[in-house]
Amino acid sequence: MVTLEQVATAARDYESLQLRSLTQDLLRQTARLSDVPRPSTTDIQLLAIAASLIELFALRQKQTPPAWASDVAPLLEPFFLVKAAQQMKRLRELCETQSPEPMRKRKLYAPPNFLEFV
C-alpha cells in the first residue's frame, strides 16, 4: 500500500517516474482523500510537500483534504519540485507565478499542470 510520505519523498528527490506511479497508486487505492493520514515524519520539508500534494489532489478531485493538511506551515525557503527550474529562468518564472495554489502557499513551486496527467 502506497503512503503519502512515499509520494512526497519521490517529489522531493526529483524521481518523476516514481512520483507519477506512486501518485496513480495512491489515488487508485484511496476513495476519500480526507482519510489520508498525516505522514509520521518530522522533516518539515517532506511534510509541506505531502500537505501540498494531498490538497492539490483533493482540489482536482473535488474532495475535502484531510484536516491535518491545513495545519502545515510554509517552508522558510522556496523549493522547486521540478529540478530544471533551478537553471531555466523561464521555467522558474512560470513555476513562481503559476504554481498550483496548494503548493504556492507553502513556498513550493511547480508548473501549473504538475501531476495533472497521472
pLDDT means per 10 residues in the chain (118 residues)?
A: 97 97 97 96 97 97 97 96 93 95 96 87
Number of C-beta neighbours around residue 15 at 10 A: 13
pLDDT at 86: 86
Q: How far apart are CA 81 and CA 44, in angstroms?
A: 15
Residue 43 CB contacts under 8 Å (≥ 6 apart), including other chains: none
Q: How far apart are CA 105 and CA 108, in angstroms?
A: 7
pTM of the predicted protein model: 0.94
Beta-sheet strands, E only, within 3-116: 79-80, 108-109
80, β-bridge pairs: 109
Cell of 7: 509520494
Going from the C-alpha of 64 to that of each of 14, 33, 34, 90, 100, the distances in angstroms are 27, 7, 6, 33, 16
pLDDT at 12: 98
